């Protein structure tokens, strides 16, 4: 499979595949609904709308042409709807979860529920952003800008594994992983750099699968070969990173917000680590980001 290098290719890649079954929680608001409708129209998704049935009535006309590809399941309230969506995944009747007009906290409570949830013991829920900027000829898989505040070594390893799994769905067989830090020096003054050393050793022993890992690298050197050369850095990752592992949520959040505020970047986000992707875009996200995120979740959940 040729690697996917932008969002247009992602949509093309879904053509002709079995439809992905989406459990959509309270997705009666216009933004969520139109993203789901588009996914049905493009032929790659079936949708189970879980939520307040009455609030779906305004969408009846739009849904009519898709008979057989959608279903409506009533939820008594947002917690009930969230629990029912999670139950659909556990029962093998849905391949991914999408959040509509409901707080992320409600969805996460159902996902993380010890008895009825979908996070396996020993796994951690994490956040991946996929970005495409015109200045870089690859997609960037970035983790974790939103969920894990100060990752432990184990969590960093899981973040890399999740991103690598996602890369595989995009046809990127041997992703290059940049471990981001403000310099290239390993120093006990910055404990994150000691984690990075340990991760490189694990990668060297083949424990992280088919990935090429290097770091600490600064963000510019990770994606700009010329900058790395100027700094005298020779690295199999510099200038060509697929996966960007940020040191912590502060740096990650600044990266995400800077890209979305000051650069022309297309993006998709998803929660990973649970039994299926959980698509939790927020009100602040742009229309196109919501659609891209749904598309990415479908691609990564695809059967």
Q: Is the sign of the CA dihedral 145, 151, 155, 157 positive or negative? A: positive
Which residues in the 256-285 window bind its own copies by CB under 8 A? 257-263, 265, 283-284
CB of 291 to its own copies, least distance (A): 18
Query: Per-residue x/- marks for its own copies, 165-204, CB under 8 A?
Result: ---------------xxx------xx-x------------
Nearer to its own copies, 128 or 298 (CB): 128
- CA gap 184, 219 in Å, rounded: 10
Binding segment (CB under 8 A) for its own copies, from list 50-58, 91-99, 251-259, 290-298: 251-259
| Pairing state between β 126-132 and 278-279 | unpaired
Nearer to its own copies, 67 or 135 (CB): 135
- Contact pick of 46, 95, 184, 224 for its own copies (by CB under 8 A): 224
- Tell me the backbone φ, ψ of residue 241, rounded to 5 degrees: -65, 135
- CA gap 119, 113 in Å, rounded: 8
Q: Is the sign of the CA dihedral 203, 207, 208, 211 positive or negative? A: positive
133 binds its own copies (CB under 8 A): yes
Binding segment (CB under 8 A) for its own copies, from list 160-168, 242-250, 271-279, 290-298: 242-250
Choose among 159, 148, 112, 139: nearest CA to 299.
139
CB of 20 to its own copies, least distance (A): 29
- Tell me the backbone φ, ψ of residue 128, rounded to 5 degrees: -125, 130
Across the strands, what pairs with 90? Answer: none
Contact residues for its own copies (CB under 8 A)?
133, 135-136, 146, 149, 180-182, 189-190, 192, 218-220, 223-224, 227, 230-231, 246-255, 257-263, 265, 283-284
């Amino acid at each position: 499979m040729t690697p996917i290098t932008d969002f247009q290719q992602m949509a093309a890649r879904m053509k002709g595949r079995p439809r992905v079954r989406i459990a959509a929680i309270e997705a009666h608001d216009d933004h969520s609904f139109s993203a789901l409708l588009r996914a049905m129209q493009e032929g790659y998704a079936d949708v189970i709308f879980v939520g307040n049935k009455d609030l779906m009535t305004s969408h009846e006309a739009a849904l009519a042409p898709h008979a057989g590809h959608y279903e409506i399941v009533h939820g008594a309230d947002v917690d009930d709807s969230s629990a029912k969506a999670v139950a659909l995944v556990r029962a093998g009747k849905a391949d991914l979860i999408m959040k509509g007009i409901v707080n992320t906290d409600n969805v996460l409570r159902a996902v993380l529920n010890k008895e009825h949830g979908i996070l396996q013991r020993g796994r951690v829920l994490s956040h991946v952003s996929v970005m495409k900027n015109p200045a870089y000829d690859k997609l960037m898989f970035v983790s974790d800008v939103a969920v894990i505040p100060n990752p432990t070594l184990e969590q960093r390893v899981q973040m890399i594994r999740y991103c690598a799994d996602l890369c595989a769905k995009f046809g990127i067989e041997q992703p290059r992983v940049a471990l981001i830090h403000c310099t290239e020096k390993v120093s006990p003054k910055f404990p994150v750099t000691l984690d990075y050393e340990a991760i490189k050793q694990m990668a060297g022993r083949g424990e992280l699968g088919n990935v090429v890992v290097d770091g600490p690298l600064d963000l510019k050197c990770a994606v700009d070969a010329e900058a790395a050369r100027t700094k005298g850095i020779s690295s199999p990752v510099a200038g060509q990173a697929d996966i960007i592992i940020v040191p912590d949520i502060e740096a990650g959040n600044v990266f995400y917000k800077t890209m979305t505020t000051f650069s022309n970047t297309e993006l998709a986000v998803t929660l990973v680590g649970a039994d299926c992707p959980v698509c939790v875009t927020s009100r602040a996200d742009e229309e196109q980001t919501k659609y891209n995120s749904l598309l990415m979740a479908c691609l990564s959940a695809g059967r």
